[in-house]
Amino acid sequence: MPNAVYSLLLVVFLVIVAAVLKTDLLGYVATVGIIFAVMVVLHHYLALQMIGYAVQTANPYLRYFFFRSAVTVGGAAPLLLLAVAWLVRERFKPWLFYATAAAVAYSGLWTGYDEFARLAPYYPRLSLVTLFGSADLFAVVGAVVPIALSRAAQGPSQAACHPARAARRLGAPWRKRLVSDRTGPAPIR
């Protein structure tokens, strides 16, 4: 919980500094800070909510599933931010959508690091293969899904799709000699 409190205090401080200095740059920093603070709150409290569901459940199998899936829900909870940003992406500036995608990817990295920190003390005694086998699969899903979905939401890279489109977009005069839009080799003129 202290991470969420410090993030919110940092956002309040940045908003006050932006108001005093009357600059637009700190407004961008404050907006990104708010996005990351909301991500921390979602990451923390939705995992606690799943633990609360597990405590209230009478079925032992469902209780086990809820306890185990709390880390997955905590890691994937910031996907709510990405869903909202995806729905209103035409109204957002692109940097705001990419900042939201970065916050979601950071949530996945945070979950992955927590799993790594849990297994790291055992590495000198046990082999790496044994540690990979004892990794919590719920934590792995909670780490991989946010990273993969945030990357998928950003869309394919234009340069990687097709070299002719990338050269056309860059306006390269040597495009015809380098890559042809037709199926065969380009004639050199």
The pLDDT value recorded for residue 159 is 45
Output the pLDDT for position 61: 92
pLDDT at 186: 59
**Domain extents for the chain?**
2-155, 157-189
pLDDT on residue 31: 81
What pLDDT does residue 112 have? 86
Tell me what pLDDT residue 136 has. 85
Can you give the pTM of this predicted structure?
0.67
**Ranges in the chain, pLDDT < 50:** 158-159, 174-175, 177-178
DSSP for 96-154, please give it.
Answer: HHHHHHHHHHHHHHHHHHHHHHHHGGGTTTS-HHHHHHTS-HHHHHHHHHHHHHHHHHT
